[in-house]
Amino acid sequence: MYKTHCDQVNPGDNVIIGLGDSFTQGIGAYSLDTWKSIPHDPARFNISGQHFLDEQAANNWVRQLQKSFLPDYKVINLGVNGAGNRATIREMYLNPLPDNLGNVIVILMATAIERYDFLKQSDETAGIDWHYKWQTIFPTISDRGAISRLEKEYVEQIHSMRNDALQFLFNICEAKNFCRARGYKFLFGSAFDMQINRNNLMRDLKEKGKYIDIVDWNDFITIKDRYSFMDMVDQLEGNRSNTIHDIFKRNANAKMPSKYITPCSHWTIEGQFKVAEYLYNELSSRNLL
C-alpha cells in the first residue's frame, strides 16, 4: 500500500478498508490542471500509476466515502494499480490492523476475474515502497518480456472461463473468512468487470454450477440495470456500453476527462464521488454503520 492512501489506525477506531485495483487506488482522479500538465497521450502516461499520488490519495472513492459521509472513520486503501483480486485481498494479511477496533467495513471493488497474481521474485523488482510487489498475469499472447512466456502457458494450459469463475469465488470466500475471523463487515461489487454477478458466473461454471453459492451473494452490491460501477458511471455520461472495451475505445483519444470518466477510462474526481455516494447509501440501507 501507499502510506499516502492510509490513516494511522488505533484501537477503538472505526475503519473503512478499500480493496481493488487502479480504480480503488485512484488512478485518474486528478484536477483539470493536472490533466493539462500531461505532455502527450494522457491515456497511456497515466496508467503507470506512479504519478500524482497525492491526488490519488485525496480523491479515490475510499477517501471520498470518509470525507463526505463517514468523517468518524479512518481510511485504509489497499488498492493496487494493475493487480487482481487475489492480490488485493492478500494485502490485508500484509497490512494488519490493531485489535479492539470499532466498526470495520471492508469493501472489495473487484477487478477482472481473469487476472492471476504472484509475489514478485525479489524486493528489488517490487516497485515503490513495495507497493508493486505483485506480478499479475493475464490470459494473453503479448510482448511483455520474460513474463510473456508465463502468460502464454497460462493461456494454453490453465485458463478457462470456468476457472476464472471458480478462482473468483475462492477469492471472495477468502476475503469473507478473513473478515469473519476478525469481526469485520464485508461487501463486494464490480469495478468494471461485467461478468461479476451470480447469473453470469453460474453460466461460466458450466457443469460446476453447484459451487456458485459457496459465496454469500447477500454480500454483493447490485446496481439496478447495471453490471458494474463503471457501467453506472458511464450511464451518467449518457452512454450505454456492452463491455469495458467499448469505454476504452470511446476515451482512448481524449486529451481531457469528461465529467465522470478520464482519458485512461477511470473515474474522475466527480466519478469517484458518485461511487462513494452509492456505497454510502448501500451501507446505510444495510444498517452496517
User: What predicted TM-score, i.e. pTM, was given to this entire model?
Assistant: 0.95
pLDDT confidence of residue 255 = 84
β partners of residue 223: 226
Please, which pLDDT band fits residue 144 given cuts at 50, 70 and 90? Answer: confident
What lies within 8 Å, CB to CB, of 201 at 6+ separation is: 165, 168, 169, 195, 212
Check if the beta carbon of residue 202 is closer than 8 Å to that of residue 161: no
pLDDT confidence of residue 115 = 95
Q: Are strands 73-77 and 14-19 parallel, antiparallel or unpaired?
A: parallel
CA 58 to chain CA centroid, Å, is: 16
pLDDT confidence of residue 275 = 98
Q: Which H or E run contains 187?
A: strand 185-190
Q: Where are the domains of the chain?
A: 3-285
Map residue 261 onto helix, strand or coil: strand
pLDDT confidence of residue 270 = 98
Q: Which H or E run contains 55?
A: helix 53-59
| Superfamily of the domain at 3-285 | SGNH hydrolase (3.40.50.1110)
Q: At what angle do helices 244-251 and 229-236 cross, to 10 degrees?
A: 40
Check if the beta carbon of residue 7 is closer than 8 Å to that of residue 1: no
Q: What digits encode the pLDDT tens for the residues 232-278?
A: 999 999 988 777 888 888 888 888 999 999 999 999 999 999 999 99
Please, which pLDDT band fits residue 46 given cuts at 50, 70 and 90? Answer: low
